[in-house]
Structure 1
Amino acid sequence: MAGQRIAARAAACATVTVLTVTAGAVARADDDFASLPAQQIADRSRDALLGVRSLHLRARGDLGRGRDAMTVDLSLDRDGNCAGSVDLGGDKGAVRIVKRGDAVWVKPDADFWKNQVPVGGTTFDSVLAGRYLKGEASDSRLRPVVDVCDLDTFRELVSDNADRADGTLTKGTVTTLDGVRTVPVTRDARGQRVTAYVDTGGAHHPVRLTVRGGGADAAVDFSGFDEPVPTATPAADDTVDVSALLGRTPAPS
Protein backbone atom coordinates (compact mmCIF):
# COMPACT_ATOMS: atom_id res chain seq x y z
CA MET A 1 0.00 0.00 0.00
CA ALA A 2 1.51 3.32 -1.09
CA GLY A 3 0.76 5.15 2.15
CA GLN A 4 2.43 2.50 4.29
CA ARG A 5 5.56 2.65 2.12
CA ILE A 6 5.77 6.40 2.64
CA ALA A 7 5.51 6.00 6.41
CA ALA A 8 8.17 3.30 6.45
CA ARG A 9 10.55 5.35 4.33
CA ALA A 10 10.12 8.26 6.71
CA ALA A 11 11.21 6.09 9.62
CA ALA A 12 14.16 4.76 7.63
CA CYS A 13 15.31 8.30 6.81
CA ALA A 14 15.45 9.10 10.50
CA THR A 15 17.59 6.11 11.44
CA VAL A 16 20.08 6.52 8.61
CA THR A 17 21.33 9.85 10.02
CA VAL A 18 23.45 7.88 12.49
CA LEU A 19 25.64 6.53 9.68
CA THR A 20 27.47 9.75 8.89
CA VAL A 21 29.13 10.06 12.28
CA THR A 22 29.44 6.59 13.88
CA ALA A 23 31.73 5.04 11.27
CA GLY A 24 35.13 3.38 11.62
CA ALA A 25 36.95 0.53 13.30
CA VAL A 26 36.30 -0.18 16.96
CA ALA A 27 38.96 1.02 19.41
CA ARG A 28 39.44 0.25 23.10
CA ALA A 29 41.16 2.26 25.82
CA ASP A 30 41.16 2.32 29.63
CA ASP A 31 41.61 6.08 30.09
CA ASP A 32 38.81 8.55 30.77
CA PHE A 33 36.29 8.30 27.96
CA ALA A 34 35.76 12.04 27.46
CA SER A 35 39.51 12.56 26.98
CA LEU A 36 39.73 10.16 24.05
CA PRO A 37 40.17 11.47 20.50
CA ALA A 38 36.99 12.17 18.53
CA GLN A 39 37.44 9.13 16.27
CA GLN A 40 37.75 6.71 19.18
CA ILE A 41 34.64 8.16 20.82
CA ALA A 42 32.71 7.78 17.57
CA ASP A 43 34.02 4.24 17.14
CA ARG A 44 32.92 3.14 20.60
CA SER A 45 29.53 4.73 20.10
CA ARG A 46 29.01 2.82 16.86
CA ASP A 47 30.09 -0.43 18.51
CA ALA A 48 27.67 0.14 21.39
CA LEU A 49 24.81 0.86 19.00
CA LEU A 50 25.48 -2.32 17.02
CA GLY A 51 25.46 -4.37 20.21
CA VAL A 52 22.02 -3.48 21.55
CA ARG A 53 19.13 -5.97 21.45
CA SER A 54 16.48 -3.22 21.42
CA LEU A 55 16.14 0.54 21.57
CA HIS A 56 13.74 3.47 21.34
CA LEU A 57 14.32 6.22 18.78
CA ARG A 58 12.57 9.54 18.33
CA ALA A 59 13.39 11.63 15.27
CA ARG A 60 11.94 15.03 14.61
CA GLY A 61 12.53 17.80 12.10
CA ASP A 62 13.36 18.21 8.42
CA LEU A 63 15.79 15.64 7.04
CA GLY A 64 16.34 17.61 3.84
CA ARG A 65 14.34 15.41 1.48
CA GLY A 66 11.81 17.95 0.32
CA ARG A 67 9.19 16.99 2.92
CA ASP A 68 7.60 18.76 5.86
CA ALA A 69 9.19 18.31 9.26
CA MET A 70 8.18 14.89 10.53
CA THR A 71 8.30 12.90 13.77
CA VAL A 72 9.20 9.23 14.07
CA ASP A 73 8.73 7.58 17.48
CA LEU A 74 9.52 3.85 17.54
CA SER A 75 10.60 1.08 19.88
CA LEU A 76 12.13 -1.87 18.02
CA ASP A 77 14.20 -4.98 18.65
CA ARG A 78 16.27 -7.58 16.85
CA ASP A 79 13.38 -10.06 16.86
CA GLY A 80 11.40 -7.77 14.55
CA ASN A 81 8.99 -6.49 17.19
CA CYS A 82 8.05 -2.83 16.97
CA ALA A 83 5.64 -0.26 18.38
CA GLY A 84 5.26 3.45 17.74
CA SER A 85 4.20 6.03 15.22
CA VAL A 86 5.23 8.09 12.21
CA ASP A 87 3.85 11.62 11.73
CA LEU A 88 4.59 13.02 8.28
CA GLY A 89 4.00 16.61 9.44
CA GLY A 90 2.17 19.46 7.77
CA ASP A 91 -1.25 17.80 8.19
CA LYS A 92 -0.08 15.06 5.81
CA GLY A 93 -1.08 12.38 8.26
CA ALA A 94 0.22 9.98 10.86
CA VAL A 95 0.34 6.20 11.27
CA ARG A 96 0.43 4.04 14.38
CA ILE A 97 2.51 0.88 13.90
CA VAL A 98 2.56 -2.34 15.94
CA LYS A 99 4.42 -5.51 14.98
CA ARG A 100 4.58 -8.58 17.17
CA GLY A 101 5.96 -11.83 15.80
CA ASP A 102 4.44 -12.48 12.39
CA ALA A 103 1.54 -10.04 12.82
CA VAL A 104 1.53 -6.35 11.79
CA TRP A 105 -1.03 -3.67 12.64
CA VAL A 106 -1.09 -0.18 11.09
CA LYS A 107 -3.52 2.61 11.91
CA PRO A 108 -3.39 5.57 9.51
CA ASP A 109 -5.33 8.66 10.55
CA ALA A 110 -7.83 10.51 8.33
CA ASP A 111 -5.22 12.99 7.06
CA PHE A 112 -2.94 10.14 6.04
CA TRP A 113 -5.64 8.41 3.99
CA LYS A 114 -6.65 11.69 2.40
CA ASN A 115 -3.16 12.86 1.43
CA GLN A 116 -1.21 9.66 0.86
CA VAL A 117 -3.93 7.58 -0.80
CA PRO A 118 -5.89 10.16 -2.82
CA VAL A 119 -7.76 7.49 -4.81
CA GLY A 120 -10.02 5.61 -2.39
CA GLY A 121 -8.29 6.77 0.79
CA THR A 122 -11.37 8.39 2.32
CA THR A 123 -13.34 5.21 1.63
CA PHE A 124 -10.71 3.10 3.38
CA ASP A 125 -10.80 5.49 6.33
CA SER A 126 -14.58 5.20 6.53
CA VAL A 127 -14.47 1.40 6.43
CA LEU A 128 -11.79 1.18 9.10
CA ALA A 129 -13.64 3.63 11.36
CA GLY A 130 -10.63 4.16 13.61
CA ARG A 131 -9.58 0.51 13.67
CA TYR A 132 -6.18 -0.98 12.83
CA LEU A 133 -5.38 -2.64 9.52
CA LYS A 134 -3.89 -6.07 10.31
CA GLY A 135 -1.81 -8.37 8.15
CA GLU A 136 0.97 -10.93 8.15
CA ALA A 137 4.62 -9.92 8.07
CA SER A 138 5.01 -11.93 4.85
CA ASP A 139 2.43 -9.76 3.03
CA SER A 140 4.35 -7.70 0.45
CA ARG A 141 1.98 -4.75 0.99
CA LEU A 142 3.34 -4.47 4.53
CA ARG A 143 6.98 -5.22 3.72
CA PRO A 144 8.25 -1.62 4.17
CA VAL A 145 6.73 -1.48 7.66
CA VAL A 146 8.16 -4.91 8.51
CA ASP A 147 11.66 -3.88 7.40
CA VAL A 148 11.75 -0.64 9.36
CA CYS A 149 10.48 -2.41 12.49
CA ASP A 150 13.43 -4.81 12.56
CA LEU A 151 16.47 -3.57 14.49
CA ASP A 152 18.66 -5.94 12.47
CA THR A 153 17.76 -3.95 9.34
CA PHE A 154 18.96 -0.82 11.11
CA ARG A 155 22.16 -2.57 12.27
CA GLU A 156 22.88 -3.70 8.71
CA LEU A 157 22.60 -0.10 7.52
CA VAL A 158 25.14 0.97 10.12
CA SER A 159 27.55 -1.86 9.21
CA ASP A 160 27.19 -1.44 5.44
CA ASN A 161 28.00 2.28 5.69
CA ALA A 162 30.85 2.00 8.19
CA ASP A 163 33.55 2.92 5.67
CA ARG A 164 31.70 5.70 3.86
CA ALA A 165 32.31 8.58 6.24
CA ASP A 166 34.30 11.56 5.00
CA GLY A 167 34.87 15.17 6.04
CA THR A 168 36.30 16.38 9.36
CA LEU A 169 35.55 14.85 12.76
CA THR A 170 35.95 17.03 15.88
CA LYS A 171 35.20 16.70 19.60
CA GLY A 172 33.36 19.27 21.71
CA THR A 173 33.19 19.91 25.44
CA VAL A 174 31.26 17.65 27.81
CA THR A 175 27.58 18.60 28.10
CA THR A 176 24.54 17.20 29.92
CA LEU A 177 21.43 16.16 28.00
CA ASP A 178 18.34 15.09 29.94
CA GLY A 179 20.52 14.27 32.93
CA VAL A 180 23.05 12.25 30.90
CA ARG A 181 26.67 13.39 30.74
CA THR A 182 27.72 13.32 27.08
CA VAL A 183 30.60 14.30 24.86
CA PRO A 184 29.69 15.59 21.38
CA VAL A 185 31.56 14.51 18.26
CA THR A 186 30.80 16.36 15.04
CA ARG A 187 31.43 15.46 11.41
CA ASP A 188 31.41 18.25 8.83
CA ALA A 189 31.12 17.01 5.25
CA ARG A 190 29.61 18.32 2.02
CA GLY A 191 27.91 21.26 3.65
CA GLN A 192 26.26 19.20 6.40
CA ARG A 193 27.10 18.95 10.09
CA VAL A 194 26.14 15.82 12.05
CA THR A 195 26.76 15.76 15.81
CA ALA A 196 26.51 12.67 18.01
CA TYR A 197 26.17 13.21 21.77
CA VAL A 198 27.77 10.11 23.28
CA ASP A 199 27.12 8.94 26.85
CA THR A 200 30.39 9.15 28.77
CA GLY A 201 29.29 6.30 31.05
CA GLY A 202 28.01 2.77 30.64
CA ALA A 203 28.35 1.31 27.15
CA HIS A 204 28.80 4.77 25.55
CA HIS A 205 25.65 4.76 23.47
CA PRO A 206 24.79 7.79 21.34
CA VAL A 207 21.87 9.50 23.07
CA ARG A 208 21.23 12.25 20.51
CA LEU A 209 22.14 13.06 16.91
CA THR A 210 21.58 16.42 15.30
CA VAL A 211 21.73 17.06 11.57
CA ARG A 212 22.19 20.59 10.24
CA GLY A 213 22.83 21.93 6.75
CA GLY A 214 22.21 20.58 3.27
CA GLY A 215 18.53 21.38 3.70
CA ALA A 216 18.30 19.33 6.91
CA ASP A 217 17.46 20.49 10.43
CA ALA A 218 16.64 17.46 12.56
CA ALA A 219 17.42 15.58 15.76
CA VAL A 220 17.29 11.89 16.63
CA ASP A 221 17.17 10.76 20.28
CA PHE A 222 18.07 7.21 21.33
CA SER A 223 16.98 5.65 24.63
CA GLY A 224 15.59 2.43 26.10
CA PHE A 225 18.67 0.42 25.18
CA ASP A 226 17.98 -3.31 25.68
CA GLU A 227 14.57 -2.59 27.20
CA PRO A 228 11.67 -4.77 25.94
CA VAL A 229 9.42 -3.44 23.20
CA PRO A 230 5.86 -2.98 24.54
CA THR A 231 3.93 -6.22 24.09
CA ALA A 232 0.37 -4.86 23.87
CA THR A 233 -1.39 -5.50 20.55
CA PRO A 234 -4.74 -4.21 19.25
CA ALA A 235 -7.81 -6.24 20.22
CA ALA A 236 -9.48 -8.39 17.58
CA ASP A 237 -12.57 -6.17 17.47
CA ASP A 238 -10.31 -3.17 16.85
CA THR A 239 -8.79 -4.60 13.65
CA VAL A 240 -9.68 -5.18 10.00
CA ASP A 241 -7.80 -7.74 7.91
CA VAL A 242 -5.69 -6.14 5.18
CA SER A 243 -6.96 -8.58 2.56
CA ALA A 244 -10.58 -7.86 3.42
CA LEU A 245 -9.96 -4.17 2.86
CA LEU A 246 -7.52 -4.13 -0.06
CA GLY A 247 -8.28 -7.38 -1.81
CA ARG A 248 -6.58 -10.74 -1.68
CA THR A 249 -3.93 -10.19 -4.35
CA PRO A 250 -0.68 -8.94 -2.79
CA ALA A 251 0.85 -5.87 -4.33
CA PRO A 252 4.20 -6.32 -6.13
CA SER A 253 7.17 -6.15 -3.76
Structure 2
Amino acid sequence: MTVQRIAARAAAFGAAVVLTMTSGAVARADDDIESLPAQEIADRSRDALLGAESLHMRVQGDLGGGRPSMMIDLTLDRSGNCAGGIDLGDDRGKVEIVKRGDAVWLKPDADFWENQVPVGGAAFDAILAGRYMKGEASDSRLRPVVDACDLDTVQELVTDNADTVGGTLTKGTKTTVDGVSAIPVTRSGDGDRRDGRLTVYVATEGKPYPVRITVRNDSADAAVDFSRFDRPVPTATPSPEDTVDVSALLGRTPAPV
Protein backbone atom coordinates (compact mmCIF):
# COMPACT_ATOMS: atom_id res chain seq x y z
CA MET A 1 0.00 0.00 0.00
CA THR A 2 1.15 3.54 -0.72
CA VAL A 3 0.78 4.58 2.92
CA GLN A 4 3.17 1.81 3.94
CA ARG A 5 5.92 3.11 1.67
CA ILE A 6 5.36 6.66 2.90
CA ALA A 7 5.55 5.60 6.55
CA ALA A 8 8.74 3.66 5.93
CA ARG A 9 10.25 6.67 4.16
CA ALA A 10 9.33 8.86 7.13
CA ALA A 11 11.27 6.68 9.58
CA ALA A 12 14.25 6.33 7.25
CA PHE A 13 14.45 10.07 6.58
CA GLY A 14 14.21 10.98 10.25
CA ALA A 15 17.01 8.58 11.08
CA ALA A 16 19.15 9.58 8.12
CA VAL A 17 19.32 13.25 9.03
CA VAL A 18 20.39 12.33 12.56
CA LEU A 19 23.08 9.85 11.59
CA THR A 20 24.72 12.27 9.15
CA MET A 21 25.51 14.61 12.04
CA THR A 22 27.30 12.06 14.18
CA SER A 23 30.35 9.83 14.13
CA GLY A 24 29.75 7.65 17.18
CA ALA A 25 32.77 8.96 19.10
CA VAL A 26 32.56 8.93 22.89
CA ALA A 27 31.84 12.39 24.30
CA ARG A 28 33.16 13.65 27.64
CA ALA A 29 30.71 13.76 30.52
CA ASP A 30 32.00 17.08 31.87
CA ASP A 31 32.04 20.61 30.39
CA ASP A 32 29.16 22.83 29.38
CA ILE A 33 27.63 21.77 26.06
CA GLU A 34 28.21 25.21 24.50
CA SER A 35 31.95 25.06 25.19
CA LEU A 36 32.50 21.75 23.41
CA PRO A 37 33.85 21.35 19.87
CA ALA A 38 31.28 20.84 17.11
CA GLN A 39 31.91 17.10 16.81
CA GLU A 40 31.44 16.46 20.52
CA ILE A 41 28.19 18.42 20.51
CA ALA A 42 26.95 16.28 17.61
CA ASP A 43 28.07 13.12 19.39
CA ARG A 44 26.25 14.10 22.57
CA SER A 45 23.05 14.77 20.65
CA ARG A 46 23.33 11.32 19.10
CA ASP A 47 23.85 9.66 22.48
CA ALA A 48 20.89 11.54 23.96
CA LEU A 49 18.66 10.51 21.07
CA LEU A 50 19.71 6.87 21.39
CA GLY A 51 18.84 6.97 25.09
CA ALA A 52 15.31 8.33 24.63
CA GLU A 53 12.42 6.01 25.49
CA SER A 54 9.90 8.03 23.48
CA LEU A 55 9.65 11.26 21.49
CA HIS A 56 7.59 13.37 19.15
CA MET A 57 8.97 13.68 15.59
CA ARG A 58 7.72 16.21 13.06
CA VAL A 59 9.18 16.09 9.55
CA GLN A 60 8.18 18.85 7.15
CA GLY A 61 9.34 19.83 3.66
CA ASP A 62 10.70 18.22 0.51
CA LEU A 63 12.03 14.73 1.24
CA GLY A 64 13.22 14.18 -2.31
CA GLY A 65 11.96 11.75 -4.92
CA GLY A 66 10.09 14.42 -6.87
CA ARG A 67 7.21 14.53 -4.38
CA PRO A 68 5.45 17.68 -3.11
CA SER A 69 6.39 18.98 0.32
CA MET A 70 4.80 16.80 2.99
CA MET A 71 4.52 16.58 6.75
CA ILE A 72 4.96 13.57 9.03
CA ASP A 73 3.85 14.05 12.62
CA LEU A 74 4.37 11.05 14.92
CA THR A 75 4.75 10.39 18.63
CA LEU A 76 6.48 7.03 19.07
CA ASP A 77 8.24 4.90 21.67
CA ARG A 78 10.60 1.94 21.97
CA SER A 79 7.71 -0.44 22.59
CA GLY A 80 6.40 0.21 19.08
CA ASN A 81 3.44 2.37 20.08
CA CYS A 82 2.74 5.48 18.02
CA ALA A 83 0.10 8.05 17.14
CA GLY A 84 0.01 10.78 14.54
CA GLY A 85 -0.34 11.16 10.83
CA ILE A 86 1.05 11.98 7.41
CA ASP A 87 0.01 14.89 5.18
CA LEU A 88 1.18 14.42 1.59
CA GLY A 89 0.68 18.09 0.73
CA ASP A 90 -0.98 19.77 -2.26
CA ASP A 91 -4.32 18.15 -1.32
CA ARG A 92 -2.85 14.75 -2.19
CA GLY A 93 -4.18 13.19 0.98
CA LYS A 94 -3.71 12.63 4.70
CA VAL A 95 -3.46 9.44 6.76
CA GLU A 96 -4.01 9.13 10.50
CA ILE A 97 -1.93 6.39 12.18
CA VAL A 98 -2.41 4.71 15.55
CA LYS A 99 -0.44 1.71 16.80
CA ARG A 100 -0.90 0.24 20.24
CA GLY A 101 0.55 -3.11 21.20
CA ASP A 102 -0.14 -5.59 18.40
CA ALA A 103 -2.86 -3.54 16.68
CA VAL A 104 -2.50 -0.93 13.93
CA TRP A 105 -5.17 1.54 12.74
CA LEU A 106 -4.94 3.60 9.53
CA LYS A 107 -7.41 6.25 8.40
CA PRO A 108 -6.74 7.72 4.93
CA ASP A 109 -8.93 10.61 3.86
CA ALA A 110 -10.86 10.95 0.58
CA ASP A 111 -8.02 12.88 -1.12
CA PHE A 112 -5.62 10.06 -0.32
CA TRP A 113 -7.82 7.41 -1.90
CA GLU A 114 -8.42 9.58 -4.98
CA ASN A 115 -4.80 10.54 -5.59
CA GLN A 116 -2.80 7.59 -4.26
CA VAL A 117 -5.11 4.71 -5.20
CA PRO A 118 -6.74 5.77 -8.47
CA VAL A 119 -7.91 2.21 -9.20
CA GLY A 120 -10.29 1.05 -6.47
CA GLY A 121 -9.65 3.95 -4.10
CA ALA A 122 -13.20 5.28 -4.31
CA ALA A 123 -14.51 1.85 -3.32
CA PHE A 124 -12.24 1.73 -0.27
CA ASP A 125 -13.31 5.21 0.75
CA ALA A 126 -16.99 4.31 0.43
CA ILE A 127 -16.64 1.13 2.49
CA LEU A 128 -14.65 2.81 5.26
CA ALA A 129 -17.01 5.81 5.38
CA GLY A 130 -14.67 7.77 7.64
CA ARG A 131 -13.64 4.77 9.75
CA TYR A 132 -10.19 3.33 10.40
CA MET A 133 -8.94 0.13 8.84
CA LYS A 134 -7.43 -2.10 11.52
CA GLY A 135 -4.80 -4.80 11.23
CA GLU A 136 -2.32 -6.78 13.29
CA ALA A 137 1.31 -5.75 13.65
CA SER A 138 2.29 -9.21 12.40
CA ASP A 139 0.50 -8.60 9.07
CA SER A 140 3.26 -8.38 6.43
CA ARG A 141 1.20 -5.82 4.51
CA LEU A 142 1.54 -3.41 7.45
CA ARG A 143 5.20 -4.12 8.24
CA PRO A 144 6.55 -0.75 6.98
CA VAL A 145 3.99 1.11 9.13
CA VAL A 146 4.94 -0.98 12.15
CA ASP A 147 8.64 -0.22 11.61
CA ALA A 148 7.99 3.51 11.19
CA CYS A 149 6.13 3.51 14.51
CA ASP A 150 8.97 1.88 16.45
CA LEU A 151 11.57 4.20 17.96
CA ASP A 152 13.92 1.22 18.26
CA THR A 153 13.96 1.01 14.44
CA VAL A 154 14.92 4.67 14.10
CA GLN A 155 17.62 4.32 16.77
CA GLU A 156 19.03 1.19 15.14
CA LEU A 157 19.33 3.02 11.80
CA VAL A 158 21.30 5.75 13.55
CA THR A 159 23.63 3.24 15.25
CA ASP A 160 24.18 1.05 12.18
CA ASN A 161 25.17 4.01 9.98
CA ALA A 162 27.04 6.20 12.47
CA ASP A 163 30.45 5.64 10.88
CA THR A 164 29.46 6.37 7.25
CA VAL A 165 29.40 10.17 7.41
CA GLY A 166 31.75 12.78 5.95
CA GLY A 167 32.04 16.51 5.51
CA THR A 168 33.02 19.35 7.83
CA LEU A 169 31.33 20.32 11.12
CA THR A 170 31.00 23.94 12.24
CA LYS A 171 29.56 25.24 15.52
CA GLY A 172 27.27 28.26 15.37
CA THR A 173 25.90 30.83 17.82
CA LYS A 174 23.37 29.87 20.48
CA THR A 175 19.76 30.50 19.52
CA THR A 176 16.27 29.30 20.45
CA VAL A 177 14.09 26.69 18.77
CA ASP A 178 10.44 26.75 19.80
CA GLY A 179 11.46 28.36 23.07
CA VAL A 180 14.29 25.90 23.74
CA SER A 181 17.85 27.23 24.02
CA ALA A 182 20.01 25.39 21.47
CA ILE A 183 23.45 25.45 19.88
CA PRO A 184 23.57 24.78 16.11
CA VAL A 185 26.14 22.51 14.50
CA THR A 186 26.31 22.42 10.69
CA ARG A 187 27.79 19.74 8.47
CA SER A 188 28.77 20.90 4.98
CA GLY A 189 29.65 18.59 2.10
CA ASP A 190 27.64 15.44 2.86
CA GLY A 191 29.17 12.55 0.96
CA ASP A 192 28.61 12.91 -2.80
CA ARG A 193 26.42 15.99 -2.28
CA ARG A 194 29.22 18.50 -1.84
CA ASP A 195 26.84 21.45 -1.71
CA GLY A 196 24.70 19.85 0.97
CA ARG A 197 24.19 21.50 4.36
CA LEU A 198 22.70 19.87 7.41
CA THR A 199 22.28 21.63 10.74
CA VAL A 200 21.38 20.08 14.09
CA TYR A 201 20.20 22.31 16.92
CA VAL A 202 21.21 20.75 20.25
CA ALA A 203 19.52 21.69 23.53
CA THR A 204 21.88 23.51 25.88
CA GLU A 205 19.87 22.87 29.04
CA GLY A 206 19.09 19.43 30.43
CA LYS A 207 19.96 16.50 28.20
CA PRO A 208 21.56 17.56 24.90
CA TYR A 209 18.72 16.31 22.73
CA PRO A 210 18.58 17.33 19.07
CA VAL A 211 15.54 19.60 18.95
CA ARG A 212 15.65 20.48 15.26
CA ILE A 213 17.54 19.29 12.22
CA THR A 214 17.42 21.07 8.85
CA VAL A 215 18.71 19.44 5.68
CA ARG A 216 19.27 21.13 2.34
CA ASN A 217 20.99 19.42 -0.58
CA ASP A 218 20.34 18.53 -4.21
CA SER A 219 17.50 16.15 -3.33
CA ALA A 220 15.86 17.43 -0.12
CA ASP A 221 14.93 20.62 1.70
CA ALA A 222 13.27 19.74 4.98
CA ALA A 223 13.28 20.11 8.74
CA VAL A 224 12.88 17.52 11.49
CA ASP A 225 11.74 18.70 14.91
CA PHE A 226 12.08 16.51 18.00
CA SER A 227 10.24 17.19 21.26
CA ARG A 228 8.37 15.58 24.17
CA PHE A 229 11.24 13.23 24.95
CA ASP A 230 10.41 10.39 27.35
CA ARG A 231 6.73 11.34 27.55
CA PRO A 232 4.10 8.61 27.01
CA VAL A 233 2.54 8.05 23.61
CA PRO A 234 -1.20 8.85 23.75
CA THR A 235 -3.08 5.66 24.69
CA ALA A 236 -6.44 6.37 22.99
CA THR A 237 -7.37 3.93 20.22
CA PRO A 238 -10.32 3.91 17.81
CA SER A 239 -13.43 2.13 19.03
CA PRO A 240 -14.57 -1.14 17.40
CA GLU A 241 -17.52 0.74 15.91
CA ASP A 242 -15.08 3.07 14.17
CA THR A 243 -12.93 0.35 12.57
CA VAL A 244 -13.02 -2.09 9.65
CA ASP A 245 -10.77 -5.15 9.61
CA VAL A 246 -8.11 -4.68 6.93
CA SER A 247 -8.35 -8.30 5.73
CA ALA A 248 -12.10 -8.01 5.28
CA LEU A 249 -11.60 -4.70 3.49
CA LEU A 250 -9.01 -6.08 1.06
CA GLY A 251 -11.19 -9.10 0.46
CA ARG A 252 -14.08 -6.92 -0.75
CA THR A 253 -12.20 -4.62 -3.12
CA PRO A 254 -9.13 -4.58 -5.40
CA ALA A 255 -5.96 -4.29 -3.33
CA PRO A 256 -4.52 -0.75 -3.30
CA VAL A 257 -1.24 -0.22 -5.10
- State the TM bucket, normalised to the shorter chain: over 0.9
Partner of 1:213: 217
Matched, 1:7 2:6: yes
For this pair of structures, how many residues does the alignment match? 248
Query: Which residue is 2:70 aligned to?
Result: 70
2:245 is aligned with 1:245: no
Report if aligned partners of 1:3, 1:112 keep a CA contact under 8 Å in 2. Answer: no
Q: Report the TM-score when normalising by structure 1.
A: 0.94
- Counterpart mapping for 1:15-34 below 5 A: 15=14, 16-34=16-34
Give the Cα separation in 1 of the matches to 2:180 and 2:114: 41
The answer to whether 1:131 aligns with 2:128 is no
1:233 aligns with 2:232: no
Equivalent pair of 2:12/2:154 in contact (CA under 8 Å): no
Equivalent residue, structure 1, for 2:83:
83
Q: TM-score, normalised by structure 2?
A: 0.93
Single out whichever of 18-27 and 235-244 deviates more from structure 2: 18-27
The CA deviation at 1:203 is 1.2
Secondary structure of the 1:66 match is coil
- 3-state SS, counterpart of residue 226 of structure 1: coil
Structure 2: distance between partners of 1:240 and 1:7: 21
State whether residues 134 and 239 of structure 1, in contact with CA within 8 Å, keep that contact through their aligned partners in structure 2.
Answer: yes
Q: How does 1:156-195 map to 2 (within 5 A)?
A: 156-189=156-189, 190=193, 191-195=195-199
Matches within 5 A, 1:90-129: 90-129=90-129
1:22-59 CA distances to partner (integer Å, 9 max, x unpaired)? 33212114222101000000000000000000000001
CA distance in 1, matches of 2:68, 2:226: 22
Shift in Å, 1:12: 2.2
SS of aligned partner of 2:170:
strand
Contact kept in structure 1, 2:216 and 2:222, CA below 8 Å = yes
Percent of matched pairs sharing the same residue: 70
Deviation at 1:13, TM superposition (A): 4.3
RMSD between aligned residues: 1.4
In 1, distance between residues paired with 2:2 and 2:63? 19
Unaligned runs of 5+ in 2: none
Report if aligned partners of 1:13, 1:63 keep a CA contact under 8 Å in 2: no
CA distance in 2, matches of 1:125, 1:160: 39
User: Which residue number corresponds to residue 145 of structure 1?
Assistant: 145
Judge conservation of contact 1:174–1:181 (CA < 8 Å) in 2. Answer: yes
Give the aligned partner of residue 207 of structure 2. Answer: 203
Distance in 1 between the 2:29 and 2:173 partners?
19
Aligned residue identity for 2:17: T
Contact 2:12 2:157 in 1 (8 A): no
Offset of residue 65 of structure 1: 2.2
Matches of 1:153 and 1:110 in 2, distance apart? 30
Q: Secondary structure of 2:232's partner?
A: coil
Dislocated runs of 4+, deviation >2 Å: none
TM-aligned CA deviation for residue 176 of structure 1 = 1.3
Provide, for residues 115-160 of structure 1, a one-character-per-residue CA deviation record: whole Å limited to 9, x for no partner: 1111101100000000000010011111110010000000010001
Counterpart secondary structure, 2:6: helix
Instruction: Quickly say closer, same or farther: Cα 1:86–1:10, change in 2 above 3 A.
Output: farther
Unaligned runs of 5+ residues in structure 1 are none
